[in-house]
Structure 1
Amino acid sequence: MKKISFVMVVMMLCSIMTVNGIEPYTSAPGKSAIVMEVETGRVLFEKNSHEKMPTASTTKIMTALLAIENVDPEKVVKIPPEAVGIEGSSIYLRANETVKMVDLLYGLMLRSGNDAATAIAIEVAGSVEEFASLMTQRARELGAENTSFMNPHGLHHDLHYTTAYDLALITQAAMKESLFKKIVGTKFHTAESRDAEFKYFANKNKILKTTEGGDGVKTGYTKKSGRCLVASATRNDMQLIAISLNDYDYFNTTRKLLDDSFAIFKPHQILQEGDVMATISVTEGKVDTLDLLARDKVVIPVSDEEVDKIKTVVEAPDAVMAPVDQGAIIGKVHTYLDGELINTTELLAAVSIQKLTFKDKFLRFLRIK
């Protein structure tokens, strides 16, 4: 039998991974993996990231997102009998017990309560089936085209699946919700709305303790899915999501993915909020010109080799007709990296400009004469 050298092994690993043209930097032993920057959605690393897979309790990221988007977190929820005794991880809800939605969310994300997931689903949509439909619909809205949800908790179903890429998109949206980010970054929570002994929730996610800047988000495991982890960390004002699916060493994999990504990619500021990006003419206005300001601060993750490949393109009319309201959207500025669109930010009118009255026009005519 022909021996395989260490060099050959490395070459085979490199052949199945890409890092946007940059030399691969980890073996990523899981079946599928991805690293995504939260603000721009730029993919920094991927391995089989579009392969459909069962992802167990990482499903609950979408469950939490829908709950936060649709229900007041302070709402008191009466637990339906259908949510009691769900197999797997549990926060031991009791039928007709009343619990605040926010405490159900903590139980969902810290203790991975399948009963909490079911109670949330029924509260939001009336049934598990309808909630699963909403989950898939919301996934499509986020661009997650290869995702199908059949339940709110991730217990195995042949038609329940997603991809590392889709899961990153869902997590990206969730991490932009302040309550979600607070919950998944919490190490210990006491559910004050519960009078039962099962009101203390400790976070199972080791990323919070073992990774510099670790701030969430969710573990998952079933026999079909294997060990799955969605991890997140923030360093130098840049937040990255690392996902490894069907990976026996998922904590070490995601920690290394994060460490290597932060080492290779640095935040590079393109625009500051309020930067003047263009000056255009104003027709029939009391002022003849108008500055257009960048709506947002734009920071993108780039490697040292990519800095010179950044280009910004302003898309705006040459002139606008008065009146103009301050803050009105007049155009956009697009940021490209090596020819690929990576960010689009709106351009806003810097000031309000009133339309010339007949008197204004007459006075101008006299000044010209």
Structure 2
Amino acid sequence: MLKKVVGFLLIIFCITLVLSPPVFAEEIHTTGKANIVIDVATGRILHEKNIHEKLPMASTTKIMTALLAIENMPLDKKVKIHPEAEGVEGSSIYLKANEKIKMIDLLYGLMLRSGNDVATAIAYEVSGSVEEFAKLMNLRAKELGANNTNFVNPHGLSHNDHYTTAYDLAIITREALRNPTFKEVVKTKFWLAERDGYQHFTNKNKILNICEGGDGVKTGYTIKAGRCLVASATRNNMQFIAVTLNDGDWFNTTNKLLDYSFNQYKPYTVFKAQDLIKTIMVKNGVKTTMYLEAAKELIVPIQEEEEGKILSIIQAPETVSAPVIKGQRIGKISTYLDGELINSTYLLAKEDIERLTTKDKFLRFFKFK
């Protein structure tokens, strides 16, 4: 009788195992109104919560301000400070009207000390007014696909028509971090400006100290926006961006999101820069074939079970005509993860190939005759 009971219980246990749903790792919980984690290399979204909800962004606005300054002004230019930039409310590096200061020092004052006066000075220098600079900010945002963002000023002081989303702010930051100057500025802990008076700029972003591999990006706070933070970190050849908006536990949230994402995703190298991807024919060239190489490496953050779901498709002609210049774009390689496009990289000519001269053609003709 006992054997029958034990056998019956074993059958019930086995049935329970088969019918019970699998238990997955619990999704991370956060305190922010909206947050997101994305990969800089591919833009892949690794975590999301209310990522398309329009919210005020406070001084994280200055990510776009810095990007436009870098894209539009020489970094060594001495900027004459517009009178409207003196005395702007909030965070400041205490600029004086008509003071002259290098653009690079303004950038560090903008991103390390969050100077609202700096943001205003940059707006006047680049566009002639705050209003015109805001138009430039919105145009650049639309170019990047940040379609739920609207800027009315360069610093982020509260305005009903000044807003973004966690997703938009992440893709703006992704573009900025692909710029070497921006990337260097936001990971700097201390900067000494070439000016009289206030010149010691210490970075307000605690992520640089509390997060493993922390290397950016920008804090923000107003009463209306709450505490907003865009953070970044690099580990295992991957750089992730974490954004949290209206979050009283902002540093802990982004640190936790970054730790969680780096634990969940591992780097998968699809190809390296200068890897030889394809051989093609060369018409009328001193060489008849040539290699195409990848313009840059591609490392994709994946979960363990996704490795077999990566597919790369090469788009390149079978033949090109000489002359060919080394580094010339001749095709591209598109990489998909589970059917979704995650990256496109140019294929470049590996070497120069000159066009055949009449003499070369004559010699080649008799060589192969």
Task: Give 1:86 shift.
Answer: 1.4
d(CA) in 2 for partners of 1:282, 1:103: 50
Cα offsets for 1:136-188 (capped at 9, x unmatched): 11111222121111000001111111111111111112212222222222222
Percent of residue pairs bearing the same amino acid type = 62
Task: Give 1:221 shift.
Answer: 1.3
d(CA) in 2 for partners of 1:137, 1:345: 25
1:245 is aligned with what amino acid? L
Match of 1:96 in 2: 98
**TM-score, with structure 1 as normaliser:** 0.89
SS of residue matched to 1:256:
helix
Match of 2:270 in 1: 270
- Residue 170 (structure 2) aligned to one of 161, 168, 171: 168
1:169 is aligned with what amino acid? I
**TM-score, with structure 2 as normaliser:** 0.89
| Correspondence 1:55 to 2:57 | yes
Match of 1:234 in 2: 234
Match of 1:145 in 2: 147
- 137-146 or 238-247, larger mean C-alpha shift: 137-146
Match of 1:305 in 2: 305
d(CA) in 1 for partners of 2:194, 2:286: 59
d(CA) in 2 for partners of 1:345, 1:255: 31
- 57-66 or 37-46, larger mean C-alpha shift: 37-46
Match of 1:327 in 2: 327
1:129 is aligned with what amino acid? E
Match of 1:178 in 2: 180
2:271 is aligned with what amino acid? L
Match of 2:190 in 1: 188
SS of residue matched to 1:104:
helix
Pick closer, same or farther for the CA change 1:112–1:278 going to 2, 3 Å: same
Match of 2:11 in 1: none
Task: Give 1:331 shift.
Answer: 0.9
d(CA) in 1 for partners of 2:285, 2:96: 66
Match of 1:356 in 2: 356
SS of residue matched to 1:165:
helix
2:257 is aligned with what amino acid? L
Pick closer, same or farther for the CA change 1:367–1:138 going to 2, 3 Å: same
Task: Give 1:244 shift.
Answer: 0.5
Task: Give 1:368 shift.
Answer: 4.0
Cα offsets for 1:106-143 (capped at 9, x unmatched): 22112211111111111111111111111111111222
Q: Aligned Cα RMSD in Å?
A: 1.7
d(CA) in 2 for partners of 1:24, 1:103: 45
Q: How does 1:199-348 map to 2 (within 5 A)?
A: 199-348=199-348
Pick closer, same or farther for the CA change 1:259–1:359 going to 2, 3 Å: same
**Matched residues, number:** 346
Whether the 8 Å CA contact 2:237–2:299 is kept in 1: the answer is: no
d(CA) in 2 for partners of 1:116, 1:218: 15
d(CA) in 1 for partners of 2:201, 2:321: 58
Pick closer, same or farther for the CA change 1:89–1:282 going to 2, 3 Å: same
* Structure 1: gaps spanning 5 or more residues: 1-21
d(CA) in 2 for partners of 1:89, 1:353: 57
d(CA) in 1 for partners of 2:109, 2:367: 73
1:307 is aligned with what amino acid? E
Match of 2:122 in 1: 120
Task: Give 1:310 shift.
Answer: 0.9
Match of 1:46 in 2: 48
1:289 is aligned with what amino acid? T
SS of residue matched to 2:348:
strand
d(CA) in 1 for partners of 2:258, 2:325: 44
Q: Which has the larger radius of gyration?
A: 2
d(CA) in 2 for partners of 1:366, 1:74: 60
Match of 2:156 in 1: 154
Q: How does 1:74-93 map to 2 (within 5 A)?
A: 74-93=76-95
Match of 1:3 in 2: none
